[in-house]
Every structure is written in C-alpha cells, then in structure tokens.
Amino acid sequence: MLEGFRQVPALERRRLVERVRLGLDQCQVVQRIKALERENRELRQANEILRKASAYFAVAELDRPFRR
C-alpha cells in the first residue's frame, strides 16, 4: 500500500496525512488512496491506448499516396 501512496500527488498526500493526524477515520483515508490508485491506473491505461492509436494513424497517414 505504501508504494501506491507515493504515487498520490503531494498535495493530496499531505491532506490525507493531516486527516489521519487529526484522528479522522483511517478507513476513509485508505479508501481514498485506493480510489486515487485506481484512477491513476485507469488514466495510465487510457494514455497507453491513445499513444498506440496515435502511432497507428501516423503510420496510416504515411502510407497514403500523396495528393496535390
């Protein structure tokens, strides 16, 4: 879990640590970290898909005959 915690943006991480320090429900903090990790993973997957699609269409554009 700590490894995923390091991927959370610094500002969000400070807020989470502050909530724990104030004695707020630690379960909520853990749930928030998991949600952020899930969102991070989904965004990375979406970026990878977009990167591959971009490369595919760039190659397709190069294969097209030149028109004047």
On the CB side of 51, how many CA atoms lie within 13 Å of its CA? Answer: 6
Alpha carbons 15 and 50: distance in angstroms, whole number: 32
**Could you give the dihedral angle defined by the CA atoms of residues 1, 18, 11 and 44, in that order, rounded to the nearest 10 degrees?**
20
Model confidence, pTM: 0.55
More confident residue, 5 or 55: 55
Delimit the domains of the chain by residue range.
2-63
Residue 30's pLDDT is: 82
Task: Dump pLDDT digits (tens) for 10-59.
Answer: 777 787 777 777 666 777 778 888 999 999 999 999 999 999 999 998 88
Residue 7's pLDDT is: 67
Contact 4, 31 (CB under 8 A): no
